Chain A
């Protein structure tokens, strides 16, 4: 009945869908450099090493490794892997074993304010990670429906924060009031003012961040975890406050760090743009651009182009 040899860690990972191709890795490092987490977030992040840890039966180390928890399954590495290993599948397999073993995610995750939540389920439908789900519970003697977030699944992209019609979901750092508070610009007489909502993952090179920092006060850069966090209401509030333009930057199609954020934001801005068009207001004051990993330096062209356009519009 009981197996003669207990399953090794590698066997367990292999048995989970996604974990099958574990042993094909020849440590070329493509996945590590394709991924931006090591550069942007966590120097210890390294999928190749996690695969090794699994193969070498280093269970505890693997469960504690940031790689297990930080992978957002963007699958940028998968099409680049010469061995066609579904790396995020392997990491997912390790993560599910880690959760089973009682480890929890160290990530900053979202939380739901139940006094606001209407239980509409939009966050459940939009989440790429199946983190939120609806629960029923009694409040003051009445059964009511709320959304509850599985902290171990949430990657903190903030897509649900933007989607929630009630503003019931918040993530420290990128909740609605925190972002609205940042939309403040000292107006210059001659220069148009621009708010840039930039997805932190869409700029690969450090040079590009330097470019962003080089703009004077009339360009306000607001960092968001994913362009899917952008809320059209926020863009309208910015415009009403007298700001001339809103530029939203996300990742190129297929490169979104949170799988679908860039499509969601494309959809939002496209709808917002057609609404502005219906009101005879579509003059390029709201734009969405998708920056690819190879678009080094493009951010400068986009911002300069937009400023020039707004200048023309004002004239």
Chain B
């Protein structure tokens, strides 16, 4: 690498938490600044797309792209940054798996627009007003980006070199990844970095279920006094720990809340939600079909539970949009 490596950060369909993670590097950020050149980081500094477009191909050494691909702008920038970057890293759950924005795949765009602009309760008199796709401005006509029917992950849009999971990725893991990259010790392309291979259960120290401990009723965390010593599944609370890659350091579990699955499926698992169903359904305890139905009513929103962060990457989304392509 001639001179300091060039870094880029971009923020597509996401909440911005991933950007905050970078700032949470704190004093270490100064070290980063000494070691690299940040050439593009719209959230922190003033850059224009044109600046990027003006770069040569592969001019950026590493690009950290967070956020899902929701609209034409996200896609445009993703393709541009892909072209300009040697390494493209999907940074955080949204670019890795679609994240929370990926849940939009439950609905079609029109239904959502209706909800947001027409039916949602509001004090504003603007109800029913939709944004215009094209607007005349003093600078000339501008066009707002087009919403896509399907929210996609970064990898479903362009080729991705590495995935750094988490909503947001844990600061220490990000720091490790920076050091790994700078040291040039990267694993095979396409790998998940900044996380382990096994699941959260591997590192979770809660007492695990014994033979015959099964679920007679599903409860949501707010419905039950949770025992901080026991595995959540033994308490009838669905925890995504068994189907989620370790690496986060278990902040949720340490706060006595079940894992929600932001680190995505572990190595070898294709579809996080259906794997969760396979595991959790195996624990249901009844021999009465009616009771079974009642038990399953306890899982109010199976997609939201199993694919909270992974719907865009899931086979379900592939099936739904498969025929139409995107």
Contacts and interface: CB of A to CB of B under 8 A. Distances in A.
Q: Which 7 residue pairs of A and B lie closest in terms of their CB atoms, listed nearest first?
A: A121-B208, A120-B201, A163-B282, A126-B282, A118-B202, A267-B281, A125-B209
Interface in A255-275: 260, 263-268, 270-272, 274-275
Contacts of A270: 292-293, 296
A240 B209 contact: no
B105 interface: yes
Interface in B288-306: 288-289, 292-293, 295-296, 299, 301-303, 306
A159 interface: yes
B238 to A, nearest CB: 11
B208 A165 contact: no
A122 B243 CA distance: 11
Interface in A205-254: 228, 231-233, 235-237, 239-240, 253-254
A310 to B, nearest CB: 14
Contacts of A140: none
B212 interface: yes
Among B198, B241, B282, B318, the most chain A Cβ lie within 10 Å of the Cβ of B282
B217 interface: no
B187 to A, nearest CB: 17
A130 B315 CA distance: 33
Interface string B181-221: 00000000000000000111110000011111110000000
Nearest to B106: A278
B319 A279 contact: yes
B319 A281 contact: yes
B284 to A, nearest CB: 5
Interface of B: 105-106, 198-202, 208-214, 231, 233-234, 241-243, 246, 266, 268-271, 273-289, 292-293, 295-296, 299, 301-303, 306, 315-320, 322
Contacts of A276: 316, 319
A121 B209 contact: yes
B306 A263 contact: no
B198 A166 contact: yes
Contacts of A167: 268-269
Contacts of B299: 271
Given A121-B231, A125-B214, 16 more contacts: A124-B210, A125-B283, A134-B208, A162-B278, A163-B283, A164-B279, A231-B275, A253-B289, A254-B287, A267-B281, A267-B296, A270-B296, A271-B277, A275-B274, A278-B106, A281-B319
Given A122-B233, A126-B283, A271-B296, A232 B278 contact: yes
A73 to B, nearest CB: 14
B44 to A, nearest CB: 37
A127 B211 contact: yes
Contacts of A232: 274-275, 277-278
Contact of A163 (B279, B292, B302): B279
A32 B283 CA distance: 31
A133 interface: yes
B298 to A, nearest CB: 11
B18 to A, nearest CB: 26
A166 B287 contact: no
A275 B289 contact: no
A89 interface: no
A156 interface: no
Contact of B266 (A130, A159, A165, A272): A165
B242 A118 contact: yes
A126 B315 CA distance: 26
A133 B210 CA distance: 8
B166 to A, nearest CB: 18
A260 B285 CA distance: 8
Given A165-B243, A268-B281, A118 B208 contact: no
B325 to A, nearest CB: 14
A267 B302 CA distance: 12
B282 A239 contact: no
B302 A264 contact: no
Contacts of B277: 232, 268, 271-272, 275
25 contacts: A120-B242, A122-B209, A125-B210, A125-B211, A125-B282, A127-B211, A160-B282, A162-B282, A165-B199, A165-B243, A165-B279, A231-B274, A231-B278, A232-B275, A233-B275, A236-B319, A253-B289, A260-B287, A263-B284, A265-B281, A267-B296, A268-B278, A271-B296, A278-B303, A281-B316
A119 B269 CA distance: 16
Nearest to A273: B302
A126 to B, nearest CB: 4
A119 B268 CA distance: 16
A280 interface: yes
Contact of B320 (A126, A228, A266, A281): A281
A270 B277 CA distance: 10
A24 interface: no
A163 B278 contact: yes
A231 B315 CA distance: 14
A233 B154 CA distance: 23
A116 B271 contact: no
A302 B74 CA distance: 47
Given A118-B201, A165-B199, A264-B282, A278 B210 contact: no
A267 B315 CA distance: 20
B275 to A, nearest CB: 5
A279 B322 CA distance: 13
A239 B281 contact: no
Contacts of A275: 273-274, 277, 302-303, 306, 316
Nearest to A134: B208
Contacts of A134: 208
